[in-house]
Amino acid sequence: MKLVIKSIKARKILDSRAKPTVEVELVTIKEKILASIPSGTSIGKYEAKNLPTDKAVAIINKLAKSILNKDFKSQSDFDKYLRLKSKFANVTLPLSIAFCRAFKTLPKSKKLPQLMVLGFEGGVHSDSSLKIQE
């Protein structure tokens, strides 16, 4: 079964700390899916950078047209495509999460990767002497 995406729209919302962030609304023939990401309090040197929220929203809304014309076979295919289009976390992550949520509605023969969860904090988020942030 093919995932049919009818529309993708991005908008600016406020996260739990009342900071602006990006929300993506992805509409399929079956449902409307929302996905958003918070913006961190600090950025490590190996982390993907964020664009100003308004700019990220504009890029996603422009990119949406090209996504609607593609046939992605898997989450991995979609994420590879996104990495070719943008290196910014607040562009790629909400799109990837929305696609993952939509893709999981397909028959279970499709296998999705498992999520990796943060287990501890360091750096500016900790009173310890850990040099790493996460």
pLDDT digits (tens, 9 = 90+) for 82-94: 999 999 999 999 9
- C-alpha–C-alpha distance, residues 43 and 36, integer Å: 18
Is residue 38, in this structure, part of any structural domain at all?
Answer: yes
- Residue 112 pLDDT greater than 90, yes or no: no
Among residues of the chain, what percentage have pLDDT more than 70? 78
pTM of the model: 0.76
Number of domains in the chain: 1
- C-alpha–C-alpha distance, residues 75 and 32, integer Å: 18
Is residue 130, in this structure, part of any structural domain at all?
Answer: no
Q: Residue 109 sits in which domain range?
A: 5-125
- Residue 98 pLDDT greater than 70, yes or no: yes
Is residue 57, in this structure, part of any structural domain at all?
Answer: yes
Could you tell me the CATH number of the domain that includes residue 92?
Answer: 3.30.390.10
Is residue 134, in this structure, part of any structural domain at all?
Answer: no
**Burial level of 34, CB count in 10 A (0-12/13-18/19+)?**
middle
